[in-house]
Amino acid sequence: MVALVGYTNVGKSSLLNALCGEQIFEADMLFATLDPTARKLVLPSGLQIILVDTVGFLSAGCRTIWSRRSNPTLEEAAFADVIIKVADAGDAQAAEQLAVTDEVLGSLDCESIPQLVVYNKCDMANAVAFDPDILLTSAKTGCGLPELLAKAGRCLAGPPRAHDRAGAAL
């Protein structure tokens, strides 16, 4: 199981749509996704995965804010074998978005789960220049998506994580 996690409006649902050929709701608004969505996806290696789109959040002052209509547990992330942390390449606050994402994941005891970082929306005119090691994607143009799948596949090369019934990794 691979989970897309990050700030609201960074393009998590759009990435799932682009990768899986789906049409789940995506929109230029805060808190577009109110429920997680899971879809099957076959990696180029033939490995079949479940890709999970999660609800977004944002930070205001020292508080993390979720939509009042969503279930802000992000428990799908705790079940994941790989977490893809998504930031917005067109947003000057991308590094801060990732820091808040790390805090949220830390509060869910997800530190031991392999994590990838993706700067999405790299097609945007204001996309900032990043370290060449950072994975850039565009759900709109498809740029970087094969590389994202290849990286996720490499992270999944080991045996799947086992979970107890409450979701804790064993």
Ligand X SMILES: Nc1nc2c(ncn2[C@@H]2O[C@H](COP(=O)(O)OP(=O)(O)OP(=O)(O)O)[C@@H](O)[C@H]2O)c(=O)[nH]1
Return residues touching ligand X (CB under 6 A).
8-14, 26-28, 30-33, 56, 120-121, 123-124, 138-140
Report in angstroms the alpha-carbon separations of 161 from 62, 66, 71: 32, 28, 24
Which does residue 70 touch among Mg ion, ligand X, none (CB within 5 to 8 A, set by kind)?
Answer: none
CB 35 within 8 A of CB 71: yes
CB of 92 to ligand X, least distance (A): 16
Q: Which residue is nearest to Mg ion (CB)?
A: 33
CB 10 within 8 A of CB 32: no
Which does residue 140 touch among Mg ion, ligand X, none (CB within 5 to 8 A, set by kind)?
Answer: ligand X
The length of the chain, given as a count of residues: 170
Which residue number, 12 or 151, has a Cβ lying nearer to Mg ion? 12
CB of 12 to Mg ion, least distance (A): 5
Q: Quick count: other Cβ atoms within 10 Å of Cβ 30? A: 13
**Dist. CA 18–CA 84, nearest whole Å:** 15
Q: Which residue's entry shows tokens 């890709």?
A: 51
CB of 61 to ligand X, least distance (A): 20
Integer distance in angstroms from the first to the last C-alpha of the chain?
Answer: 16
Contact positions vs Mg ion (CB under 5 A):
12-13, 32-33
CB of 11 to ligand X, least distance (A): 3
Which residue number, 81 or 91, has a Cβ lying nearer to ligand X? 91
3-class DSSP state of 19: helix
Which residue number, 85 or 121, has a Cβ lying nearer to ligand X? 121
Which does residue 41 touch among ligand X, Mg ion, none (CB within 5 to 8 A, set by kind)?
Answer: none
